[in-house]
A and B are shown apart, each in its own frame.
Chain A
Amino acid sequence: MGHRVVGTAVPRKEARAKVTGLAEYVDDICLPGMLHGATVRSTIPHGRIRQIRFGDGVPWDEFTIVTARDIPGKNVVSLIVEDQPYLADGVVHHSQEPILLLAHRDKDLLAKARQLVHVEYEPLPAVFDVEKGSHFKTFLIEKGNVDNVWSEAAFIVEGEYSTGAQEQLYIEPNGMLASVDADGGITVRGSMQCPFYVHKALMSLFALPIEKIRVIQQETGGAFGGKEEYPSMIAGHAALLAWKSGKPVKIIYDREEDMAATTKRHPSRTRHRTAVSRDGRLLGMDIEFVIDGGAYATLSSVVLSRGTIHAAGPYRCDNIRVRSTAVATNTPPHGAFRGFGAPQSLFALERHMNKMARTVGLTPDEFRRRNLLRQGDTTATGQEIKDAIDLPALQERALTLAGYREKIERFERLNRTSTRKKGIGFATFLHGAGFTGSGERNLQSVVELEATPEGRVRILTSMTEMGQGTNTILAQIAAETLGIDYDCIDVPRPDTSRVPNSGPTVASRTAMVIGNLVHKAALALKQDGGTRVKVQYQEPPGIYWDDEKYRGEAYGAYSFATYVAEVTVDTLTGEIGVDDFVAVQEVGRVLHPVLAAGQIEGGVAQGIGYALYEKVIWRDGVMANNQLTNYIIPTSVDVPPIRVFFEEIPYAHGAMGAKGIGELPMDGPAPAILNAVENALGIPFDRLPLLPEDVLAARSAA
């Protein structure tokens, strides 16, 4: 005992490289003979390609040109459904769909050439309305019998809530550098979250075996889900150009292209119909949840799954039905973004809770208190809450820290005579960590530890560092378990030829699931005294999941939170400022206090953007405001100090007790802020983002 590393604020493993500008991102690498690559994309949302012309002005014979015809393997990006091509073959299904690739030694000539490729189309009708599109996927969750509750309900409350697309806006755009070896193997380096997803995709694209593809994750400048699945596409493109030209090829998107062409958070629409008893208990919840998937399925089924499972939130109700659908439209496919369906359905729920509270005549906190899950209760999927969690106490602590009740009263008085109205609101929510149901079991994640003769230990996993602290926390866990110095642990960058497949860096699984495997591997290394150990994931006992009925233990563990937002609404301009933000969460175990708080603070800032600033303007199925000057994310003067507090009820199957926290902070801010705005103005707003224009329009109408 005595060697404490976990729970202390050790310096981030790559911190010095990052503060000195030495950290190596993909665009920092150049290889001899390297070409630059660019993508020619569709300018219409749906149509047949009639002709491609190459205009005068550049020496085309110097260019490497790749079309669908050149693809040696399958022209399909492997993911879940085989529907998305790397390059359009005759038909385009969304604006910005890749059609053709170009490469040249000279970046300037390449820029010119790209403008000289003219594609002629025969346009086809395009669908942008989720009511009209075909369905990628549907889910149905049923608990009890929701059809029987309406007659006994004292109140029946309906509501409709919607959320817009959100761009992940990692400050480092997507980029890949591909090269072909003398023996025909392909190596790709780049910005990514999941090296083995890219590896699998390239195997299929080139019809090459495992050992002929090598994928290396470079330092990644932010991802947030935006580099979960998309990298397979850009890696495939760079690799195709490298393969055809015989030279290394680097493709780096500029911001305009990255915003218009790559994935965004799925827009959503949720309808609630809820039966409530006289004393404010939820008798039955009938929920309909729809997301816009864009033109190809990509990850829509999984986003839908998570959004569906979270739709009834942290509340106790015996009769729940959630019907959900992911719909195809002719827009660039939507994809993973921190929260992954839960921010959408939890926004709807937490706004609806306030509506129900008002209808019943209870305060928002009392209404929730009467319905929050307690230990022993079951969720919508019938999962029993095993943690000794006291959600009413958690909620109450957040409200106390925020000065909630005193402010409710004080703001009500102040607002009578001021044009700047203050409000305070909150949301209580949960987020499941790890892959859903049997997902972790199916991943069969592997972790290896290697002890070197010099007394150092290397952790070999495919988990990627993208700022959230992977390298640091895994090193902390290993160091403490082995009883050696944190500084003696190395976490080499994930290289598929050197590390085992530990699964993707998504779903808030790194700390909880892989950290736990690192812990087990370290114990084995310590006990067996060898130089190498390999451990594979084993599902904890008691996880039962029915994939057909969508019932059972959806997640190994949930983290729980209450977030409180204080706002000022300027009624002259409709501008909304967030003045104070309190975030209280129960997360199992805080592995690193600075990194954990950093995750919450960053997620809250993204949530503030989601709520108040980040609107994607669609014109004919493409993002029209694809510049940072017109797609607004918060600056340092738009974000208040964020006050973060943790509670810890150790989770037995999480690393040193840790549960996942990466995505949790995305779920709370938007509903908390809109609840606060309703408190300030007495007007409900049920769509995200909420812009000043919406505020003034509603006040004029009221």
Chain B
Amino acid sequence: MRSCVPDYDAVSTQDISAALDLLASGEGWRPIAGGTDLMVLFNAGKMPYSRLFSICSIPILRSIEMLPNEVIIGAAVTYTQIRRHELIQAEFPLLATAASWTGGIANQNRGTLGGNIVNASPAADSSPALLVYDAELTLLSKRGERRIPYRNFHIGYKQMQILPDELLYQIRLPRHSAKLVQYSRKVGTRRAQAISKVSLAAASRLERAAIQDIRIAAGSVAPIPLRCYRTEQLLTGQSMTSDLIERARETIRSEISPLSDIRSAEDYRSLVTANLLQEYLESLR
């Protein structure tokens, strides 16, 4: 343990207004949810914040609300809660699957959806699913509420559209009645409890053999979790052929910008992204 514990302060907030007060105070208070990212940094002596407030006791942040048109997930909802939620399993299976990928059971019991989002790793397990489901984020501050589509939230490596006095409050997923063909796959360093080397999520529906409403999102292959718009455009309205698959492979490989790092290599990530896309597209034939 490399941090000097007495140098840090932490409090627990019981309601949103107390949390927002701390954020607005200008005294450097930052939120901590499950701690599965921040505490790893803390243990390594690398956590950049010295004042933390826990948001896990704020009931609204821990709740999942079902409305006729949308599901509202509080930012401090854990992966376990998401995994166990029957409606999320049924209507948003890619998110439920992503929640089962993250860490082992112990980390799923603590880690939160909001934490995964604001940690802003391009390898975040939940991000591709959230992009495919057109998630919308609600940010709160003392100044009021602000909504932003998740697809616009990440603007660069570890850079987000969130101001220092804002708290990620809720994640909204629009419900749909369409019959979607959905896909997600994560390629990690091993089968369980692994950081993603490449991940892909996709959903679309077939209307008389033509692809409609296709969403494709990739993780770990760009500075941010990436919606692959050009690939989606290529595929929209088309019927699946080998030629289309070939072109889709090329297009997605040109849209992503993977790196070589401690976990994997650039050309591997690029090739596997295309292979996963192909795996999905074959299922639409």
What is A's interface to B at a CB cutoff of 8 Å?
A: 107-109, 111-112, 114-115, 254, 256, 572-575, 577, 613, 617, 624-625, 627, 629-630, 632, 634-638, 692-693, 696-697, 700
| Measured CA separation A453–B279 after assembly (Å) | 74
| B45 pairs with A632, CB closer than 8 A | no
Q: Assuming A573-B272, A625-B262, what are 19 further A-B pairs, CB within 8 angstroms?
A: A107-B1, A108-B3, A111-B1, A111-B2, A254-B43, A572-B278, A573-B276, A624-B262, A629-B195, A630-B189, A630-B262, A632-B189, A632-B194, A635-B104, A638-B190, A692-B268, A693-B264, A696-B271, A697-B267
| A111 pairs with B279, CB closer than 8 A | no
| Measured CA separation A696–B187 after assembly (Å) | 13
A-B CB contact pairs (8 Å), 19 listed: A111-B1, A111-B3, A112-B4, A254-B2, A254-B43, A573-B187, A573-B272, A573-B276, A624-B262, A629-B40, A629-B195, A630-B195, A630-B263, A634-B190, A635-B191, A635-B192, A638-B192, A692-B197, A700-B271
Task: Give chain A residues whose Cβ lies under 8 Å from the Cβ of B47.
Answer: none
| Interface presence of B11 (CB below 8 A) | no
| B4 pairs with A109, CB closer than 8 A | yes
| Interface presence of B265 (CB below 8 A) | yes
| Interface presence of B18 (CB below 8 A) | no
| A696 pairs with B272, CB closer than 8 A | yes
A630-B263, A696-B271 known; A613+B1 contact, CB < 8 A: no
Name the distance in Å between B280's Cβ and chain A's nearest Cβ.
Answer: 11
| A693 pairs with B190, CB closer than 8 A | no
Question: Which of A114, A577, A696 has the most chain B CB within a 10 Å cutoff?
Answer: A696
What is B's interface to A at a CB cutoff of 8 Å?
A: 1-7, 40, 43-45, 104, 187, 189-195, 197-198, 262-265, 267-268, 271-272, 275-276, 278-279
The 8 Å CB contact of B268, one of A107, A111, A574, A638, is A574
Name the distance in Å between A216's Cβ and chain B's nearest Cβ.
Answer: 26
A613-B189, A617-B262 known; A693+B268 contact, CB < 8 A: yes
> A575 — nearest CB in chain B belongs to which residue?
B187
| A635 pairs with B190, CB closer than 8 A | yes
Task: Give chain B residues whose Cβ lies under 8 Å from the Cβ of A577.
Answer: 191
| Measured CA separation A111–B47 after assembly (Å) | 14
> B43 — nearest CB in chain A belongs to which residue?
A254
| A573 pairs with B275, CB closer than 8 A | yes
| Measured CA separation A632–B192 after assembly (Å) | 11
| Measured CA separation A634–B104 after assembly (Å) | 13
| Measured CA separation A635–B188 after assembly (Å) | 13
Closest 8 CB pairs of A and B: A572-B275, A112-B4, A693-B268, A108-B4, A637-B192, A637-B191, A632-B189, A635-B192
| Measured CA separation A256–B45 after assembly (Å) | 11
| A693 pairs with B275, CB closer than 8 A | no
| Measured CA separation A575–B185 after assembly (Å) | 13
| A638 pairs with B267, CB closer than 8 A | no
> B276 — nearest CB in chain A belongs to which residue?
A572
| Measured CA separation A693–B271 after assembly (Å) | 10
Task: Give chain A residues whose Cβ lies under 8 Å from the Cβ of B5.
Answer: 108
> A115 — nearest CB in chain B belongs to which residue?
B45
| Measured CA separation A574–B3 after assembly (Å) | 39
Task: Give chain A residues whose Cβ lies under 8 Å from the Cβ of B193.
Answer: 635
Name the distance in Å between A551's Cβ and chain B's nearest Cβ.
Answer: 44
| B44 pairs with A256, CB closer than 8 A | yes
Name the distance in Å between B141's Cβ and chain A's nearest Cβ.
Answer: 33
> A695 — nearest CB in chain B belongs to which residue?
B268
Name the distance in Å between B252's Cβ and chain A's nearest Cβ.
Answer: 14
| B2 pairs with A696, CB closer than 8 A | no
| Measured CA separation A140–B278 after assembly (Å) | 54
| Measured CA separation A642–B268 after assembly (Å) | 31
| Measured CA separation A635–B190 after assembly (Å) | 8
Task: Give chain B residues whose Cβ lies under 8 Å from the Cβ of A627.
Answer: 44
Task: Give chain A residues whose Cβ lies under 8 Å from the Cβ of B194.
Answer: 632
Task: Give chain B residues whose Cβ lies under 8 Å from the Cβ of A617.
Answer: 262
Name the distance in Å between B70's Cβ and chain A's nearest Cβ.
Answer: 34
Task: Give chain A residues whose Cβ lies under 8 Å from the Cβ of B197.
Answer: 692
Task: Give chain B residues whose Cβ lies under 8 Å from the Cβ of A629.
Answer: 40, 195
| B4 pairs with A254, CB closer than 8 A | no
| B265 pairs with A693, CB closer than 8 A | yes
Name the distance in Å between A698's Cβ and chain B's nearest Cβ.
Answer: 12
| Measured CA separation A624–B44 after assembly (Å) | 14
| Measured CA separation A697–B43 after assembly (Å) | 37
Task: Give chain A residues whose Cβ lies under 8 Å from the Cβ of B263.
Answer: 630
| B1 pairs with A692, CB closer than 8 A | no
A617-B262, A697-B268 known; A254+B1 contact, CB < 8 A: yes
Name the distance in Å between B170's Cβ and chain A's nearest Cβ.
Answer: 29
Name the distance in Å between B131's Cβ and chain A's nearest Cβ.
Answer: 21
Question: Which of B190, B191, B193 has the most chain A CB within a 10 Å cutoff?
Answer: B190
Name the distance in Å between A62's Cβ and chain B's nearest Cβ.
Answer: 14
Name the distance in Å between A570's Cβ and chain B's nearest Cβ.
Answer: 9
Name the distance in Å between B269's Cβ and chain A's nearest Cβ.
Answer: 9
| Measured CA separation A112–B4 after assembly (Å) | 6
Name the distance in Å between B205's Cβ and chain A's nearest Cβ.
Answer: 24
Task: Give chain B residues whose Cβ lies under 8 Å from the Cβ of A254.
Answer: 1-2, 43
| B192 pairs with A696, CB closer than 8 A | no
| Measured CA separation A229–B58 after assembly (Å) | 52
| B187 pairs with A692, CB closer than 8 A | yes
| Measured CA separation A112–B5 after assembly (Å) | 10
Task: Give chain B residues whose Cβ lies under 8 Å from the Cβ of A696.
Answer: 268, 271-272
| A632 pairs with B190, CB closer than 8 A | yes
| Measured CA separation A625–B197 after assembly (Å) | 15
> B197 — nearest CB in chain A belongs to which residue?
A692
Task: Give chain A residues whose Cβ lies under 8 Å from the Cβ of B2.
Answer: 111, 114-115, 254
Task: Give chain A residues whose Cβ lies under 8 Å from the Cβ of B265.
Answer: 693, 697
| Measured CA separation A114–B194 after assembly (Å) | 31
| A111 pairs with B45, CB closer than 8 A | yes
Name the distance in Å between A118's Cβ and chain B's nearest Cβ.
Answer: 16
| Measured CA separation A624–B268 after assembly (Å) | 20
Name the distance in Å between B201's Cβ and chain A's nearest Cβ.
Answer: 16
> B274 — nearest CB in chain A belongs to which residue?
A572
| Measured CA separation A577–B187 after assembly (Å) | 13
| Measured CA separation A575–B1 after assembly (Å) | 34
Name the distance in Å between B84's Cβ and chain A's nearest Cβ.
Answer: 20
Task: Give chain A residues whose Cβ lies under 8 Å from the Cβ of B264.
Answer: 693
| Measured CA separation A240–B279 after assembly (Å) | 61
Name the distance in Å between B132's Cβ and chain A's nearest Cβ.
Answer: 20
Name the distance in Å between A589's Cβ and chain B's nearest Cβ.
Answer: 37
Task: Give chain B residues whose Cβ lies under 8 Å from the Cβ of A613.
Answer: 189-190
Task: Give chain A residues whose Cβ lies under 8 Å from the Cβ of B44.
Answer: 256, 627
Task: Give chain B residues whose Cβ lies under 8 Å from the Cβ of A625.
Answer: 262
| Measured CA separation A637–B187 after assembly (Å) | 15
Name the distance in Å between A380's Cβ and chain B's nearest Cβ.
Answer: 37
Task: Give chain A residues whose Cβ lies under 8 Å from the Cβ of B43.
Answer: 254
| Measured CA separation A165–B5 after assembly (Å) | 35
The 8 Å CB contact of B4, one of A111, A572, A575, is A111
The 8 Å CB contact of A638, one of B40, B191, B275, B278, is B191
Name the distance in Å between A40's Cβ and chain B's nearest Cβ.
Answer: 13
| Measured CA separation A637–B193 after assembly (Å) | 10
| Measured CA separation A697–B267 after assembly (Å) | 8
Task: Give chain A residues whose Cβ lies under 8 Å from the Cβ of B187.
Answer: 573, 575, 692
> A252 — nearest CB in chain B belongs to which residue?
B1
| Measured CA separation A615–B154 after assembly (Å) | 32
Name the distance in Å between B258's Cβ and chain A's nearest Cβ.
Answer: 12
Task: Give chain B residues whose Cβ lies under 8 Å from the Cβ of A693.
Answer: 264-265, 268
> A635 — nearest CB in chain B belongs to which residue?
B192
Name the distance in Å between A562's Cβ and chain B's nearest Cβ.
Answer: 27
Task: Give chain B residues whose Cβ lies under 8 Å from the Cβ of A692.
Answer: 187, 197, 268
Name the distance in Å between A631's Cβ and chain B's nearest Cβ.
Answer: 9
| Measured CA separation A625–B189 after assembly (Å) | 13
Name the distance in Å between B204's Cβ and chain A's nearest Cβ.
Answer: 20
Task: Give chain B residues whose Cβ lies under 8 Å from the Cβ of A637.
Answer: 190-192
| Measured CA separation A575–B192 after assembly (Å) | 13
